[in-house]
């Protein structure tokens, strides 16, 4: 698992970490039962504060993707398997939009309207 962050991005570092984990789970790189790196180890590797990593892990826990337990660390739950199903649906949607000649920006606008933040 490779977590990438961009310190110059406008997105918070903890959000970038969580997004990276979600992406790996959706692509099937991470599976239920896999362990995420210990927070201190990941913080050192990314050169960020350990609390930033813990906040990302807590966000993933709140979403039901990670189970946090003292002594066990962060373990991915069965919920990550849903990500691969969603990815397949997204790929099919994009393929359908391309065939129909729908521009990417229009598709993104439609998705944002249906799934507001």
The pTM assigned to this predicted structure is 0.76
Model pLDDT for residues 55-104, shown as the tens digit of each residue: 999 999 999 999 998 878 899 999 887 877 888 899 999 999 999 999 99
Assigned CATH class of 13-80: mainly alpha
Give the start-to-end residue ranges of the domains of the chain.
13-80, 82-114
Query: What are the strands, taking DSSP E only, across 1-117?
Result: 66-69, 73-76
Termini Cα distance of the chain: 27
Model pLDDT for residues 12-31, shown as the tens digit of each residue: 999 999 999 998 988 888 99
């Amino acid at each position: 698992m490779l977590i990438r962050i961009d310190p110059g991005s406008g997105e918070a570092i903890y959000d970038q970490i969580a997004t990276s984990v979600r992406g790996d789970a959706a692509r099937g790189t991470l599976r239920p039962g896999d362990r995420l790196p210990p927070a201190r180890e990941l913080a050192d590797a990314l050169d960020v504060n350990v609390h930033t990593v813990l906040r990302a892990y807590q966000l993933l826990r709140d979403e039901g993707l990670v189970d946090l337990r003292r002594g066990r660390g962060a373990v991915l739950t069965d919920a990550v398997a849903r990500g691969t199903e969603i990815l397949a649906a997204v790929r099919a949607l994009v393929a359908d939009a391309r065939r129909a000649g729908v521009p990417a920006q229009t598709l993104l606008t439609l998705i944002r309207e249906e799934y507001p933040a």
